[in-house]
Structure 1
Amino acid sequence: MTDTASPTTRRYGSRPTMKDVAARAGVGLKTVSRVVNGEPGVTTDTERRVQEAIQALGFRRNDSARVLRKGRTASVGLVLEDLADPFYAPLSRAVEEVARAHGALLIHGSSAEDAERERELVLALCARRVDGLVIVPASDDHRYLEPEIAAGVATVFVDRPAGRIAADTVLSDSFSGAREGVAHLIAHGHRRIGFIGDRPSIHTATERLRGYRAAMADAGLPADERWVSLGATAPERVRAAAEAMLGGPEPVTAVFAGNNRVTVTVVRVLTAWPWPVALVGFDDFELADLLSPGVTVVAQDAALLGRTAAERLFRRLDGEAGEPARVELTTRLIARGSGELPPAGGGAGRAGQMPNGAA
Structure 2
Amino acid sequence: MKDVAARAGVGLKTVSRVVNDEPGVTPDTERRVREAIDALGFRRNDSARVLRKGRTASIGLVLEDLADPFYGSLSRAVEEVARAHGALLINGSSAEDPERERELALALCARRVDGLIVIPAGRDHRYLEPEIRAGIATVFVDRPAGRIDADTVLSDSFGGTRAGTAHLIAHGHRRIGFIGDRPGIHTAAERLRGYRAALTDAGLPLDDARVSQGSTAPERVRSAALAMLGGPEPVTALVAGNNRVTVTAVRVLAERERPVALVGFDDLDLADLLGITVVAQDAAALGRTAAERLFRRLEGAADAPEQVTLATRLIPRGSGEIPPSP
Q: What TM-score, normalized by structure 2, do the two folds share?
A: 0.92
Shift of 1:62: 4.0
Q: Which residue of 1 aligns with 2:109?
A: 126
Distance (Å, rounded) in 2 between the aligned partners of 1:269 and 1:337 = 17
CA contact (8 A) 2:240 2:246 kept: yes
Question: Which of 310, 319, 326 is 1:329 aligned to?
Answer: 310
Q: Judging changes above 3 Å, is the alpha-carbon distance between structure 1 residues 58 and 143 closer, same or farther for their aligned structure 2 residues?
A: same
Q: Residue 178 of structure 2 is aligned with which of 178, 195, 209?
A: 195
Instruction: Give yes or no for contact 2:4–2:15 (8 Å, CA) kept in 1.
Output: no
Aligned residue in 2 for 1:286: 269
The CA distance in 1 between the partners of 2:19 and 2:73, in whole Å, is 32
One-letter code aligned to 1:52: R
Residues 295 and 337 of structure 1 are in contact (CA less than 8 Å); yes or no, is this contact kept in structure 2? yes
Taking the aligned partners of 2:195 and 2:4, their CA distance within structure 1 comes to: 62
For 1:33, the equivalent position in structure 2 comes to: 17
Deviations 1:281-325 (A, max 9, x none): 00011111122xx10001111111111111111111111111111
Q: How far apart are the structure 2 equivalents of 1:283 and 1:230?
A: 17
Matched, 1:138 2:126: no
Match of 1:57 among 21, 36, 51: 36
Task: Report 1:320-359 matches (<5 A).
Answer: 320-345=301-326
Question: Displacement, 1:61?
Answer: 8.7
Q: Which residue of 2 aligns with 1:169?
A: 152
Aligned equivalent of 2:240, options 242, 257, 270: 257
1:61, 1:302 → 2: CA distance? 35
Letter in 2 for 1:248: G
Q: Where in structure 2 are there 5+ consecutive unaligned residues?
A: none
What is the distance in 1 between the residues matched to 2:199 and 2:91? 40
Any idea what the Cα deviations from partners look like across 1:48-76, whole Å, max 9, x if unmatched?
Answer: 33343344434789472444422012221
Instruction: Confirm or deny that 1:101 pairs with 2:89.
Output: no
Q: Which amino acid aligns with 2:239?
A: F
Letter of the 2:79 counterpart:
E
Distance (whole Å) between structure 2 residues aligned to residue 202 and residue 70 of structure 1 = 39
Q: Contact (CA 8 Å) 1:181, 1:280: kept in 2 or not?
A: yes
From 286, 295, 311, the counterpart of 1:305: 286
| CA positional deviation for 1:128 | 1.6
Asked if residue 16 in structure 1 is aligned to residue 4 in structure 2, the reply is yes
Shift of 1:249: 2.0
Distance in 2 between the 1:279 and 1:15 partners?
Answer: 67
Larger Rg: 1
Report the 3-state secondary structure (helix = DSSP H, G, I; strand = E; otherwise coil) of the residue aligned with 1:232: coil
Q: Does 1:216 align with 2:199?
A: yes
| 1:28 to partner: Cα distance | 10
Which of 268, 281, 296 in structure 2 is aligned with 1:315?
A: 296
Give the Cα–Cα distance (whole angstroms) in 1 for the partners of residues 58 and 19 of structure 2. Answer: 24
Q: 2:277 is matched with which residue: 296, 312, 318?
A: 296
Report the residue type matching 1:326 in the other structure. Q
Of the candidates 169, 172, 180, which is equivalent to residue 186 of structure 1? 169
Give the secondary structure class of the aligned counterpart of 1:16.
Answer: helix
* Unaligned residue ranges in structure 1 (runs of 5+): 1-12, 346-359
Report the Cα distance in structure 2 between the residues aligned to 1:123 and 1:51, rounded to whole angstroms: 39
Q: Aligned partners of 1:282, 1:70: CA distance in 2, in Å?
A: 44
- Retained in 2: the 8 A contact 1:81–1:113? yes
User: Does structure 2 conserve the Cα–Cα contact (< 8 Å) formed by 1:35 and 1:47?
Assistant: no
Which residue identity lines up with residue 311 of structure 2 in the other structure? T
Decide whether aligned partners of structure 1 residues 285 and 37 sit closer, same or farther in structure 2, where only a CA change above 3 A counts.
same
| Contact 2:18-2:33 within 8 A present in 1 as well | no
Residue 217 of structure 2 corresponds to residue 229 of structure 1: no
Contact persistence 1:35–1:50 (CA under 8 A): no
- Measure the CA separation in 1 of the matches of 2:19 and 2:105: 37
